Structure 1
Amino acid sequence: MPLEQLWLFTTITLVLSASPGPVMLACMIDAGRYGFTKSLYTMLGASAGNLVLMLLSALGLGLLVEQAEWIFHTIKWIGAAYLVYLGIQLALAPPLNVDVEARQIRSSHLFGKAFIVAVTNPKGLIYFGALFPQFIDIHRSMPPQFALLTVIFLAMDFVWMSIYALGGRGIMRWLKSPEHQRWFNWISGGALILAGAALAFTKL
């Protein structure tokens, strides 16, 4: 791939990954509640979900979703419902001992939750299906090109997830107050519910 194309793809990915979507929100919330180290499992789960979407796009399912509207809407509503569920669960969560909870929360739970949030976002499938082909030379071997784009995207996305998580970690001391936790849970839960509603009304 020519250097200028590689630079363009990296720039586009860096800008698009910065948007505060459901995954970035999950990283910030988990880091705020359980600490930055625990939120790494959230980031890994989201990255695994994005990797699945990229592999599906490579198989042509991105184009299929664009053409078959019912598939798009099925994935969309599942993802939207899950985000609303997480939001309600968080908004109703009682105050917790931040230090104790950070030790007790299962890493697999954070990984799985983030994986579902990422993999049920149909916009990601369409995004990968639309963007990646623009930087693939069909006259050259495609797997190495696709692998390079995948690595770049995952790296850029991980950088932004880390930035959001660091922002969340900054409020951990503030969250040691039960009253502050209730405010944080209400606001964060409301944000997840709004993200779910926004996803539900996403159009092709």
Structure 2
Amino acid sequence: MTTEVYLVYLAAVAVFFATPPDTSQLLIIANSMKHGLRRSLWVIAGDLSANVLQMTAAAFGLAAVIATSATAFSVIKWLGVAYLVWIGLRMMMSKGGSGRGQTATGRPARLFRLGFVTSMTNPFAVVFFAALFPQFIAVDAPILPQLLILGATYLVVDGATLLLWGWAGDRVAARLNASLATINRICGGLMIGAAALLGLKDITPQR
């Protein structure tokens, strides 16, 4: 992979994230508003950990299985939708608590699991990586180092983007000066919005 090809890849990934918020970004916005940015770093860690497994699956050809099995794709996707709706409704019905970031739902393990499960139940991601990476790999050079570079670059850009959205969500919540119950309702609505975006995903590569 030449420097020119890598820069084209970097630009492509940057453009991919320079769009309105998607499922993972709405997730980090909602949790940063509810728990604060620092605790929501666990959500980002869970999301990126799932991405690593999805990239590995794509590298081993599991994307072809998902792409050719409409049933498998739909089952995984709708489990994710149901999970997000359930979390969103729980947030909306919560009466609040002692303050932002001080509720039991803000435990690191729970936030990591939320980010991980939400990302893993998006089967489109595996197909996306399987379609993206080969476009930038030089077949006359060792494949594994190139995959590691492409994967690491994606994770860095994705992590930076999520961090930016999380910071924005944290700042908005701080400036709203609203009750925690109101913040919960807003965050619950964002989670249900994330579920709707996931539900609209199909096997065709699109944002």
Tell whether the structures are fold-level matches, with TM greater than 0.5: yes
- Confirm whether residue 126 of structure 1 aligns to residue 127 of structure 2: yes
Partner of 1:11: 11
Letter in 2 for 1:198: L
**What number of residue pairs does the alignment pair up?**
202
Q: Which whole-Å deviations, capped at 9, do the CAs of 1:82-102 have from their partners, x for residues lacking one?
A: 111111111111122225616
Cα RMSD for the two superposed structures: 2.0
Q: Tell me how far 1:173 sits from its aligned partner.
A: 2.9
Instruction: Assess if the C-alpha contact under 8 Å between 1:50 and 1:119 holds in 2.
Output: yes
- Confirm whether residue 101 of structure 1 aligns to residue 136 of structure 2: no
Partner of 1:144: 145
CA distance, structure 2, for counterparts of residue 106 and residue 187 of structure 1: 20
SS of 1:190's equivalent in the other structure is helix
Instruction: Assess if the C-alpha contact under 8 Å between 2:28 and 2:166 holds in 1.
Output: yes
CA distance, structure 2, for counterparts of residue 167 and residue 115 of structure 1: 21
Instruction: Assess if the C-alpha contact under 8 Å between 1:83 and 1:195 holds in 2.
Output: yes
Higher mean Cα deviation, 99-108 or 50-59? 99-108
Partner of 2:202: 203
Partner of 2:185: 186
CA distance, structure 1, for counterparts of residue 119 and residue 71 of structure 2: 19
Higher mean Cα deviation, 169-178 or 22-31? 169-178
Letter in 2 for 1:46: D
* Unmatched tracts of structure 2, length 5 or more: none
SS of 1:25's equivalent in the other structure is helix
Find runs of 4+ consecutive structure 1 residues off by over 4 angstroms: none
Partner of 1:170: 171
* Unmatched tracts of structure 1, length 5 or more: none
Instruction: Assess if the C-alpha contact under 8 Å between 1:62 and 1:130 holds in 2.
Output: no
Partner of 1:65: 66
Q: TM-score of the superposition, structure 2-length normalised? A: 0.89
CA distance, structure 2, for counterparts of residue 85 and residue 38 of structure 1: 21
Q: Tell me how far 1:103 sits from its aligned partner.
A: 9.0
Partner of 2:160: 159
Q: Tell me how far 1:115 sits from its aligned partner.
A: 0.4
Letter in 2 for 1:145: Q
Percentage of identical aligned residues: 27
Instruction: Assess if the C-alpha contact under 8 Å between 2:46 and 2:116 holds in 1.
Output: yes
Instruction: Assess if the C-alpha contact under 8 Å between 2:44 and 2:115 holds in 1.
Output: yes
- Confirm whether residue 90 of structure 1 aligns to residue 91 of structure 2: yes
Q: TM-score of the superposition, structure 1-length normalised? A: 0.90
CA distance, structure 2, for counterparts of residue 201 and residue 25 of structure 1: 15
Letter in 2 for 1:167: A
SS of 1:162's equivalent in the other structure is helix
Q: Tell me how far 1:114 sits from its aligned partner.
A: 0.4
Q: Tell me how far 1:146 sits from its aligned partner.
A: 0.4
